[in-house]
Chain A
Amino acid sequence: MSAVTGVTRATLVKDLRLEWRSKDAINSMLFFALLVVVIFSFSFDPTAEESRRIAGGLIWVAFLFAAVVALNQTWARELRNQVLDAYRVSPAPANSLFLAKALGNFIFVSVLEALMTPLFVVFYNLRALGPAYQLWFVASLGTWALVVNGTFFAAMSIRTRSREIMLPLLLFPISIPALLAMVEATSSILTGEFSAKFWMVLLAVYDVVFTTGCLFFFEVVLHGE
């Protein structure tokens, strides 16, 4: 167990430090999400009432697209200098690497969300009519759902040609229930018309199922044969 936490911590700290110095992923994600927000607000121009209903969808679609930018860089970074091959031959457990990468992506996407949400609130005139504190649960469960599968499928798609196109093609179909849950939960909280309980439970189940599935299969995917 200590090997898992030790390797996880070391990899996570290394990734965060790399990101802190280069700011590649976070800058490109931020600018991309900003563009999506601006383009959406041009194409809809909604009233406060309407925007409350559609904002859940817009926010999560923007975050999903932006997250793909970061997820694509997760493993591509390790291909340079054969870091991934070095990892394969080392005795460190594969799952600790996966956890570190997933946690790193979780932090990147959470930072993105924290920075972008005020912009959404300003541009779309948002104010939650339901219990706003539940948005914290929706955001963290939803982000983990995107990131855990995204990290896993990014590891799969580095084995393919044109890997940057492959990741969304794999990730989006599988993420449909999670995305539906995030969008519906956010809309229910913003409009205050329905309870978001069911969706949060569904997201939690989705997280548990796919975290287990990804941890179970990651070693197979990393070692290839």
Chain B
Amino acid sequence: MKRAFPILAILTAGLLSYGLYGALIQAPTEQTMGDVQRIFYYHVPSAWTAFCLFFVNLAASIVYLAGRSTKADALALVSAEVGVVFCTVVLVTGPIWARPVWGIWWTWDLRLTLTLVLWLIYVSYLMLRRFSSSGQTPMIAAVLAVLGALDVPLVYFSIWFYRTQHPQPVIGGGGSIDPRMLHVLLMNWLAFMCFATLVCWSRYRLEMVSRQVEERQALESLASRSPR
């Protein structure tokens, strides 16, 4: 397992540089938006990666609630942290693209709002973990993760109806995507997924080590007190 880590790191570096090359040079320039559109190769893969990580968080939380496994809890924490980072990337790159193309930084569109609400829910999840004391943290965090996931479809429907009721700005029409663009997009997504896995993996190891250290310290302080 330990040998796989550097291999994955090298693979990720290669994929990320190939993805950068694809996004900046290989992909054709979009007709109406021009070069601004290239941010799309970072924006969309980050969004997909963030959603995958949030899904991992939900799965790990359910596994934790079912079996109280420490590993599942560490995985839930790690995937939420990295997911929030990728979600932040989405929320930052989105307005940078929207400003020249739509003429506005932000609109309360369905996808934008849903991403923002997801980000808020997971930030509150991380805050809970940070503020929570003692050994109950994993359990209440897992419960919050499940309730947060229950909230997502409700958020979706409420904003969907809210938006269909109000006028909305024109969003760059759907249409078909150039196969070369799709290729670059998927390549970047693969690279981002590898990168996310890599970061999660090292963060997971760090989390497990720091928990072991804490446990050892707690045991040592008990042992040094007991002779008296």
List A residues at the B interface (Cβ < 8 Å): 149, 152, 156, 159-162, 165-166, 169-170, 172-174, 176-178, 180-181, 184, 194, 198-199, 202, 205-206, 209-210, 213-214, 217, 220-221, 224-225
Q: How far is the CA of A181 from the CA of B148 in the complex (A)?
A: 17
Q: How far is the CA of A205 from the CA of B165 in the complex (A)?
A: 20
Question: What are 10 A-B pairs with beta-carbon distances under 8 A?
Answer: A149-B147, A169-B128, A172-B120, A173-B148, A174-B151, A199-B161, A202-B161, A209-B150, A220-B139, A221-B140
Binding stretch for chain A, among B11-19, B129-137, B179-187: B129-137
Is B120 a contact of A213 with CB atoms below 8 Å? no
Is B140 a contact of A156 with CB atoms below 8 Å? yes
Is A177 a contact of B158 with CB atoms below 8 Å? yes
Is B147 a contact of A217 with CB atoms below 8 Å? yes
Q: How far is the CA of A220 from the CA of B66 in the complex (A)?
A: 11
Looking at the assembled complex, report how far the CB atom of A216 sits from the nearest CB atom of chain B, in whole angstroms.
9
Question: How many pairs of residues, A versus B, come closer than 8 Å at their CB atoms?
Answer: 92
Q: Which of B128, B146, B159 has the most CB of A within 10 A?
A: B128
Q: Is B121 an interface position by the 8 A CB rule?
A: yes
Q: How far is the CA of A161 from the CA of B121 in the complex (A)?
A: 19
Looking at the assembled complex, report how far the CB atom of A181 sits from the nearest CB atom of chain B, in whole angstroms.
6
Q: Is B65 an interface position by the 8 A CB rule?
A: yes
Contacts of A210 on B, CB cut-off 8 Å?
147, 150
Which residue in A160, A178, A180 is a CB contact (below 8 Å) of B128?
Answer: A160
Q: Is B144 an interface position by the 8 A CB rule?
A: yes
Q: Which of A159, A169, A205 has the most CB of B within 10 A?
A: A159
Contacts of B102 on A, CB cut-off 8 Å?
none
Which residue in A169, A176, A213 is a CB contact (below 8 Å) of B147?
Answer: A213
Closest A residue by C-beta to B165: A194
Which residue in B131, B135, B148 is a CB contact (below 8 Å) of A160?
Answer: B131
Is B154 a contact of A173 with CB atoms below 8 Å? no
Which residue in B117, B132, B136, B144 is a CB contact (below 8 Å) of A176?
Answer: B117
Is A170 a contact of B124 with CB atoms below 8 Å? yes
Which residue in A180, A217, A225 is a CB contact (below 8 Å) of B135?
Answer: A225
Is A166 a contact of B121 with CB atoms below 8 Å? no
A173-B117, A194-B165, A224-B139 are contacts. A213–B144 as well, Cβ < 8 Å? no
Q: How far is the CA of A81 from the CA of B140 in the complex (A)?
A: 24
Contacts of A180 on B, CB cut-off 8 Å?
158-159, 162
Q: How far is the CA of A156 from the CA of B124 in the complex (A)?
A: 13
Contacts of B162 on A, CB cut-off 8 Å?
180, 184
8 Å CB interface, B114-170 against A? 117, 120-121, 123-124, 127-128, 131-136, 139-140, 143-144, 146-148, 150-151, 154-155, 157-159, 161-162, 165
Which residue in B117, B123, B128, B136 is a CB contact (below 8 Å) of A224?
Answer: B136
Q: How far is the CA of A168 from the CA of B167 in the complex (A)?
A: 31
Is A166 a contact of B151 with CB atoms below 8 Å? no
Closest B residue by C-beta to A217: B143
Contacts of A149 on B, CB cut-off 8 Å?
147
Is B133 a contact of A161 with CB atoms below 8 Å? yes
A217-B147, A220-B65 are contacts. A159–B121 as well, Cβ < 8 Å? no
Contacts of A194 on B, CB cut-off 8 Å?
165
A166-B128, A177-B155, A177-B158 are contacts. A156–B143 as well, Cβ < 8 Å? yes
Contacts of A220 on B, CB cut-off 8 Å?
65, 139, 143
5 interchain residue pairs of minimum CB distance: A177-B158, A173-B120, A177-B154, A160-B131, A160-B132
Contacts of A202 on B, CB cut-off 8 Å?
154, 157-158, 161
